[in-house]
Amino acid sequence: MSKDTLPGLTACNYAMLRRATRKLGQFYDDVQAPSGLKATQQGLLYQIHIGNEPPMGAIAAALVMDLSALGHTLKPLIRDGYVETFADPDDRRIKGVRLTPQGRAKLDEAMKLWQVAQQRFEDVVGKDQAASLRAALGEIAELDFDLPSAS
C-alpha cells in the first residue's frame, strides 16, 4: 500500500473502489486523450454501437445510471455530431440512440486507443487477474443492496 493512502480508506470497500476507479479512470482518460473523448464517452459510444440503436432506458439500465445522467453524458456527443436520438416508431415516448457516420469513425479511432489502454492494464495487472477483476465487478454490479424497509 502506498504511503499516500490514509489508513481509514483500507477498511472501506467503497472508498477503496472509488480510489481504484479514479486511478484507472485517469489512466484510460490519458490514453483516450488524442481522440478528444473521455474514457466514459468511448464506453458509451461502444454501448450504443453494440446495442444496435438501443433505447435510452436500456443504456441507462446497462450502465447503472439514471436517465438524466445519461442525457447529461450524451449532450456533448450529440453536440459534436457523434450521436443522435430519435423517437421509437412504435412508441414515440421512447427515445433511441444511434451513432452517426462521424460517430462510427470516432469510435473506431477511440477503440484503437482503448486497445492500448486495455493491453497496458493487463501487462501491469496480469491477464488472468484483470479477467478475474472484471468478473468480480460484474457480479457486484448485479447484486441487490436494497435495505429492508423500516416499519
Higher pLDDT pick, 102 / 94: 102
Closest CA to 57 of 48, 66, 46, 69: 66
Cα 148 → chain centroid: 29
pLDDT score recorded for residue 5: 62
pLDDT tens track for 112-126: 999 999 999 999 999
Q: Could you tell me the sign of the dihedral formed by the alpha carbons of 33, 39, 41, 46, in that order?
A: positive
pLDDT tens track for 70-88: 999 999 999 999 999 999 8
CA distance 83 to 100: 5
The arithmetic mean of pLDDT across residues 125-132, rounded, is: 96
> Locate cell 457516420: which residue?
101
Whether residue 3 has pLDDT greater than 80: no
Cell of 74: 450524451
CB 65 within 8 A of CB 47: no
Higher pLDDT pick, 142 / 123: 123
Please give the model's pTM, rounded to 2 decimal places: 0.84
pLDDT tens track for 10-44: 778 898 899 999 999 999 999 999 999 999 999 99
Whether residue 2 has pLDDT greater than 90: no
Which amino acid, one-letter code, is at 60?
A
DSSP 3-state of 63:
coil
pLDDT score recorded for residue 46: 96
Phi/psi for 40 (5° steps) reads -65, -35
Element (H, E) at 76: helix 67-79
**Could you give the domains of the chain?**
36-122 (1.10.10.10)
Whether residue 130 has pLDDT greater than 70: yes
DSSP 3-state of 99:
strand
